Amino acid sequence: MKLSFNLNGRPIEVEYEHQETLAEVLRERLNLTGTKISCEVQVCGACTVLIDGLPVSSCTLLAYEARERNVVTIEGLAKPDGALHPVQQAFIDEFAFQCGFCTPGMILAAKALLDENPKPSREEIVHYMDGNICRCTGYVPIVRAIQKAAQKLSNEK
């Protein structure tokens, strides 16, 4: 079957099997390996991508459900000139990752949060990020990174 959708700002068409998840299509058919597969039951957030601006667990979403929609992966977050998105840069600046496995999902969820709520409180950040699990870093630097990105994005406006 063929699937058409916008991926990281560009229209694409890809062959897929009807039972494949969006994460499988992204990783195995499109070689976008930033999207991680871990729990496969919508618990850890490693597979988070944005669909029409909202964070979704791509490990349980059938690829078919992305048809004619806008999908953003971690590979599509940086600017065309290679400059990192403020959330990406804040994660680096605040040492908000160690192994990096959860980081793409964390960054995309954080971007969705800041798009929805440009000035979240610490409690709002913690609540929103509840669906993304980190087993290495701990959450303090992640919260700091999101706060830093919020400030940077606020200053850019």
Q: Is the pLDDT confidence value at 157 over 80?
A: no
β-strand pairing of 70-72 with 2-7: parallel
What's 2-76's CATH class? alpha beta
Q: How far is CA 72 from the centre of its chain?
A: 7
Give residue limits of the domains in the chain.
2-76, 86-156
Q: Tens of pLDDT along 70-126?
A: 999 999 999 999 999 999 999 999 999 988 899 999 999 999 999 999 999 999 999
Q: Tens of pLDDT along 121-140?
A: 999 999 999 999 998 878 99
pLDDT, residue 137, reads 78
Cβ pair 47, 105 in contact under 8 A: yes
Q: Is the pLDDT confidence value at 48 over 90?
A: yes
| Distance (Å, whole) CA 157 – CA 8 | 23
Give the count of beta carbons closer than 10 Å to the beta carbon of residue 78. 14
Mean pLDDT of 141-146: 97
pLDDT, residue 138, reads 80
CATH number of 86-156: 1.10.150.120
pLDDT, residue 156, reads 87
Q: How far is CA 92 from the centre of its chain?
A: 16
